[in-house]
Amino acid sequence: MRIGFCVPMNDSWTAAIAGIEPELKGKAGLVKGVKETLEAFNELDAVIANPIDVSYFEGTRQLKALFVPFVGVNHLPAELLLQRGVSVYNCHGNAESVAERALAMTLAGFGRIIEFHNDLSKGIWHGFWVSKGREDFWHSIFRKRCAILGAGAIGQTLAGLLKAFGCSVSGYRRKQEALLPPGFDTMSADLEKAVAGAEIVFVTLPLTDLTKGLVDARILAAMKGAYLVNMGRGDVVVEADLYQALVDGTLSGAALDVWYTYPEKGLTEGWPSRFPFHEMPNVVLSPHVAGSTHEAVDMNVIQTAENVVRWVLTGEARHRVDLKASY
């Protein structure tokens, strides 16, 4: 059996691979590095890979397993992999960082942190020191009613963080299970029911055929007055409907880490939407970096390496992706 690590051989990957080699007990030969793995691709039984050209998958008949060292799988040729019977596994090492970012952006919005920071950097004061009253108050999130759309690793981690603030947490997921995930008080497959009465709504859903445009004008109206935090994918929420809901006051505000338009490859500038969200004082902007922490990347490496060992020794691994559902 041969396994290729089509990843940059930095310190994290070098250490992780060195750590699992004794556990493999000689049952697999390892090919290390992007160039080396791509050259040997047709001879590999399994590969750990960042996005690569689809032609590599088209040219191999031996591949049995693909390990994605992050959570997103929208870039994969799903139909081809299904036809070839390739098992795909991802990892969720970013869950803590994304949940932390969701909470931080919520606190920034409720606490008017960005607004007050920008003003004070210009010498403009707020609050009782300059005889300002309630117009300069900010909101606490303690004991707020929250809804989390998506009860996977990110949603569960976020629910746990919210419990530290005494928040009630309702959840939404299509597939109902007997046991509530940790941190959730209720769970519903009815989206309108899940968001009804929520003061803060978090979106942690992946983008699939079933979730694209899921949160539209009707659902936004059902959460009237709420603050929306999107950490999943931009297109889960209808772009025009979100903008209108912020303009007309259906939503009290929003914190957005995921977007609708991104800079073309090689560029570093560009507006994240065809609508001027960046001009709205009640919107906190973040350039899709919730999972971009040293800790998240290291955890993804560790989880992936451990999963490879599990697959070699048992023939199965954790976090198997449903390619038909894209998550």
Which CATH number belongs to the domain containing residue 68 in this structure?
3.40.50.720
11 and 135 both lie in a single domain: no
198 and 223 both lie in a single domain: yes
State the chain's mean pLDDT as an integer. Answer: 96
Name the band, by pLDDT with cuts 50, 70 and 90, for residue 306: very high
105 and 75 both lie in a single domain: no
Name the band, by pLDDT with cuts 50, 70 and 90, for residue 74: confident
Quick one: pLDDT at residue 101? 98
Q: Please give the tally of structural domains in the chain.
A: 2
Quick one: pLDDT at residue 169? 98
Between the CA atoms of 193, 196, 201 and 207, what dihedral angle is there, to the nearest 10 degrees? 30
Other residues' Cβ atoms within 10 Å of the Cβ of residue 30: 17
Quick one: pLDDT at residue 88? 98
Name the band, by pLDDT with cuts 50, 70 and 90, for residue 68: very high
Q: Check pLDDT > 90 for residue 326.
A: no
Quick one: pLDDT at residue 2? 97
In a domain, 327, yes or no: no
Residue 230 CB partners (closer than 8 Å, separation 6+): 202, 203, 236, 237, 254, 255, 256, 257, 258
Contact by Cβ (8 Å): 183, 163? yes
85 and 161 both lie in a single domain: no
User: Whole domain around residue 116: which residue ranges?
Assistant: 95-285
Quick one: pLDDT at residue 178? 77
Name the band, by pLDDT with cuts 50, 70 and 90, for residue 167: very high
In a domain, 323, yes or no: no
In a domain, 174, yes or no: yes
278 and 198 both lie in a single domain: yes
Residue 279 CB partners (closer than 8 Å, separation 6+): none
Name the band, by pLDDT with cuts 50, 70 and 90, for residue 176: confident
Contact by Cβ (8 Å): 307, 68? no
In a domain, 299, yes or no: yes
| pTM of the model as a whole | 0.93
Query: What are residue 256's DSSP bridge partners?
Result: 230, 285
Other residues' Cβ atoms within 10 Å of the Cβ of residue 266: 5
271 and 130 both lie in a single domain: yes
CA gap 164, 184 in Å, rounded: 13
84 and 134 both lie in a single domain: no
